[in-house]
Structure 1
Amino acid sequence: MSNNPERSTAWQTALTVIQKATPPALPDGAEVMTVVTEYPPGDPGAPPHRHPGGPAFGYVLEGEILFELEGQAPRVLKAGEAFWEPGGDVIHYQDANNRSDIALRFLVTMLCAPGQPMLVLVDDEELAARQDHRVPAGSTVPTES
């Protein structure tokens, strides 16, 4: 490492931690995929789904997302806020654009065990069977962000 006095030290204060999480352990050979999702104003987002092979970590780039995971009350996250979901059996009910006047853009990095799909849709029969796992809006169940 150089002792060059002209080298910038701005990197030492350039980082802002927006989220810390301890993901479940992943096996050797796990894959990682980073995607940007863009929804037009008022879009309902993806149907209920899960990430069976591992966790997903997200960051809202623009707009507002209505975010709902199984076991947590729905919440609105705005640009600059982060979220994560543990993956596995947990259902991701909503990732809708919360606004009818502006687009939503968010970035998600998904980790996935070998041989597992990154995303699987949940059918209506399973949603009905697990209805008791869903937390109504306005409930005071602790959330992780």
Structure 2
Amino acid sequence: MSHNESSGGAGQQPRSDAWKTAVTVLQTVKSPHIPEGAEVMTIHVEFPPGDPGTPPHRRPGPAFGHLLEGETRFELEGEPERVIRAGETFWEPGGDVIHHQDGNNRTDSWSRFIVTMLCVPDQPMITLVDDEELAQCKDRRAPGPS
């Protein structure tokens, strides 16, 4: 191997092999519904200790999240509520699926997470679900924790 091959060329830094082990896959999902003309938006969400989070809602497209700090209660329509802890990932398919819970599970620390979602241009990134609709579809909600 010549000097230029090992150093990346005259005046350049040597190439690193760190990229070969630098990636850790956090989540893989089957390709969900993607709204036509979707835009990708990444947001940072912070809920103070004990905060109940966003009321039940829907998103126009899928959302993929990574919890940075704390614990979050997470419940999608038809799935039992679960707790997501710092370092874990979550996702929701969007569309007609109601996202019931995303509140802070801890009363002594903040919950912070990043969410990347596919949104429809000129439409809200979330639409709240009213009490009447929640009552009509309560049979699609999984039993809560005991």
Counterparts of residues 54-73 of structure 1 (less than 5 Å): 54-73=61-80
Residue among 36, 41, 53 paired with 1:45: 53
* Secondary structure of 2:135 counterpart: helix
Matched residue, 1:24:
32
Letter in 1 for 2:91: W
Is 1:14 the equivalent of 2:14? no
Counterparts of residues 56-135 of structure 1 (less than 5 Å): 56-135=63-142
- How many pairs were matched up? 137
Q: Hey, what's the Cα distance between the residues in 1 that align with 2:20 and 2:109? A: 35
Matched residue, 1:142:
none
Deviation at 1:136, TM superposition (A): 1.2
Larger Rg: 2
Deviation at 1:118, TM superposition (A): 1.5
- Superposition misfits of 4+ residues, deviation over 3 angstroms: 2-5, 113-116
User: Does structure 1 conserve the Cα–Cα contact (< 8 Å) formed by 2:35 and 2:119?
Assistant: no
User: Does structure 2 conserve the Cα–Cα contact (< 8 Å) formed by 1:62 and 1:105?
Assistant: yes
Q: Which range is displaced more, 61-70 or 4-13?
A: 4-13
- Distance change (3 Å), C-alpha of 1:28 and 1:103: same
Q: Hey, what's the Cα distance between the residues in 2 that align with 1:99 and 1:13? A: 34
Q: Hey, what's the Cα distance between the residues in 2 that align with 1:45 and 1:28? A: 29
- Please provide the CA RMSD for this pair: 1.8
Percent of aligned pairs sharing the same letter: 63
Q: Hey, what's the Cα distance between the residues in 2 that align with 1:71 and 1:25? A: 18
- Distance change (3 Å), C-alpha of 1:3 and 1:90: farther
Q: Hey, what's the Cα distance between the residues in 2 that align with 1:61 and 1:124? A: 31
Name the TM-score, length of structure 2 as normaliser.
Answer: 0.87
- Distance change (3 Å), C-alpha of 1:120 and 1:84: same
Q: Which range is displaced more, 111-120 or 78-87?
A: 111-120
- Distance change (3 Å), C-alpha of 1:88 and 1:28: closer
User: Does structure 2 conserve the Cα–Cα contact (< 8 Å) formed by 1:59 and 1:82?
Assistant: yes
Q: Hey, what's the Cα distance between the residues in 1 that align with 2:131 and 2:31? A: 28
Letter in 2 for 1:99: R
